[in-house]
Structure 1
Amino acid sequence: MLKKKWGTISLGLLSVFLIIDILASFYFYDLAIKRNVKDFLTGNEDLEVSAKAIDVFLDGDWRSWYSNQDFKNWEMESFDGLTLQGYFLEAKEPTNKTVVFAHGYLGDAQDMGLYGQYYYEQLGYNIFTVDLRGHGTSEGDYIGFGWHDRLDIADWVDKVIEKQGPASEIVLHGVSMGAASVLMASGEDLPDNVKAIVADSPYTNVYDLFEYQLDRMYQLPAFPVLPSTSLITEIQAGYSLTEASALDQVKKADVPILYIHGNDDTFVPTAMSKQLYENTKSKAEMITFDEANHGEAFVIHKQKYVAKLKGFLETYLE
């Protein structure tokens, strides 16, 4: 009788833990992946912008530069029927070189004007910047964290070639989630027109990123919440947290990749870029910057950043 009683109690406790886990999984899906207002990052110390960078991010002249340019709106239907938006700016002088930008989590296409101004004014490139699915004016009720975005980027590349001609030379440049997106695209069968990839502050895969943030923000272990959140994500958004892996994709990459990361990045650890770099199949370079938090290197160490960027691009583009 006592054994049966303890069995009933154990089964009841297991049921309670299972219900709690399921509720937590839906909570974290809604928190991080479902498209909605995201307040959880407000006040996050890991995303505090340094005094050196804040003025440029908020009020830099790149914002007025972007708003004063005559970007042409391009529209595309994704492989799964979403209407996606991109914005093309033709260079001042005719060129076959185009940079395709991918922004970070909760950002949009215009955020990449910070980098676009340099490519346009100093390098003379055509600029193409996109609203990733679930962001900006693009459709999508979830955030892809790069996985489905990799296919969208590949389709955008095809559209650039279609509009700009078969001689197009294309650079993919992403920051944070955008960096992971272009790295995930690197493992796809990209056309030879894609000459180089620039990944600024990328993560290895979504599971690793969430595991890191779950511990840092909530002091919770990955198990059992993340495996069940991954299952909910697969049901709701069509991908799992483990399959959304830049690390697996760069092991198949043929395109040269430049990795950039701040050594003081506490939101996406610098070690993730190092792991990606060490596992990249194609030619790869890496540069890190002291006293730079997440995505700050271009602002805080602009001269060094653009020198490395320019040298890398000159190596792989004609």
Structure 2
Amino acid sequence: MKKRILLISGIIVALLLVAVFLVTNYFYGEAVKRGNEVELHSEEVETVASRQDQSIVEEAEEWFGEQDTQVVEQSSYDDLTLKAIYIDNEASTGKAVILAHGFRGVKEDMDELVKFYYDQGFDILMPDARGHGESEGDYIGYGWHDRLDYQQWVDMLIEDHEAEEIFLHGNSMGAALVLMTSGEDLPAEVKGIVEDSGYTTVKEELTHQLNHLYNLPAFPLLDMTSVMTKVRAGFTFEEASAIDQVKNNTRPLFIIHGEEDELVPTEMAHELYEAAGGDKEIWIIPEAGHTDAYTVATAEFQDRLQDFIDRALED
């Protein structure tokens, strides 16, 4: 009888372990594994843009499609081939910007911003993050390992393209990426950071998504998925922290966030602003959802961004 009870208990434990592994593996696939299409919690916000703003965006996207672009690449610290689009500005002012796209996006998603920066004399670098687009990698780094990649992109702009004044500008995951990069040892050529709709930490953002999509608490599922991510991708959700990194920032920082953002809660922008080191400013846009600021208030966005760039270059 005792052997039978032990056998049944062993089977139950084994089944539970298998179930835990399968569920954890499923969420790893949803959150971290490359290539999956996933649903995210993001309530629809009806955006209303003026005709002037619509015209600016449409013209910028059309202009980008007509540009001759150069594909550049680098080998990451862990031997991944990472690719980017580079646009050489005919003005050759020594200014350059790196544009960072969002979660499961591609470099071309940042197309609406390219003309603005080009018109200000910037060379443009648009990388595909590791695990995205044409870059290698079988996992999404949420900006954590990517911050080291961006240090290399910065070095490439300085060494190969003689960049003297560099800005980093990211949307969503790309915003968290540039915030994480801001806490690293950066060369003097990096003059400013622009982040639009970034999250505080990967754990807090995934907790938000888990709660709203599945009505589940973070513990224990997120913790187990974080362990699997450490094994398979080399980082945990806890360590991937934009808010910890930005405390070490010394560059001018412009934080942008939509007041109606349901994908990355707007309060995260305020938390980042309070934690950030260096000169900083924050702009919360009424009636704007996730990364909608440029669409909702294009002309004002450009004016504020131009002012930020001018002031950053005066320092």
Q: 1:47-196 residue pairs with structure 2 within 5 A?
A: 48=44, 50=46, 52=48, 60-121=58-119, 123-165=120-162, 168-196=164-192
Query: In 1, are the aligned partners of 2:41 and 2:209 still within 8 Å (CA)?
Result: no
Following TM superposition, by how much is the alpha carbon of 1:49 offset from its aligned partner in structure 2, in angstroms? 6.0
Taking only the aligned residue pairs, the percentage that are identical comes to: 43
Query: In 2, are the aligned partners of 1:21 and 1:224 still within 8 Å (CA)?
Result: no
Give the structure, 1 or 2, with the largest relative contact order (CA under 8 Å, sep 6 or more). 2
Label 1:45 to 1:28 Cα distance change in 2 as closer, same or farther (>3 A).
closer
**Secondary structure of the structure 1 residue equivalent to 2:145:** helix
Counterpart check, 1:293 vs 2:284: no
In the alignment, which residue of structure 1 is the partner of 2:300? 304
Unaligned runs of 5+ in 2: none
Query: In 1, are the aligned partners of 2:29 and 2:36 still within 8 Å (CA)?
Result: no
TM-score for both structures, normalised by structure 2: 0.91
CA distance in 2, matches of 1:75, 1:296: 30
In the alignment, which residue of structure 2 is the partner of 1:284? 280
CA distance in 2, matches of 1:45, 1:237: 24
| Number of positions where the alignment pairs a residue of Structure 1 with one of Structure 2 | 309
Query: In 2, are the aligned partners of 1:199 and 1:258 still within 8 Å (CA)?
Result: yes
Specify which of 242, 246, 249 is matched with residue 250 of structure 1: 246
Query: In 2, are the aligned partners of 1:85 and 1:130 still within 8 Å (CA)?
Result: yes
Unaligned runs of 5+ in 1: none
In the alignment, which residue of structure 1 is the partner of 2:217? 221
Matched residue type, 1:202: G
In the alignment, which residue of structure 2 is the partner of 1:26? 25
Q: 1:257-276 residue pairs with structure 2 within 5 A?
A: 257-276=253-272
CA distance in 1, matches of 2:226, 2:285: 33
Following TM superposition, by how much is the alpha carbon of 1:302 offset from its aligned partner in structure 2, in angstroms? 1.2
TM-score for both structures, normalised by structure 1: 0.90
Following TM superposition, by how much is the alpha carbon of 1:108 offset from its aligned partner in structure 2, in angstroms? 1.0
Label 1:133 to 1:247 Cα distance change in 2 as closer, same or farther (>3 A).
same
Query: In 1, are the aligned partners of 2:82 and 2:136 still within 8 Å (CA)?
Result: yes
RMSD (Å), alpha carbons? 2.4
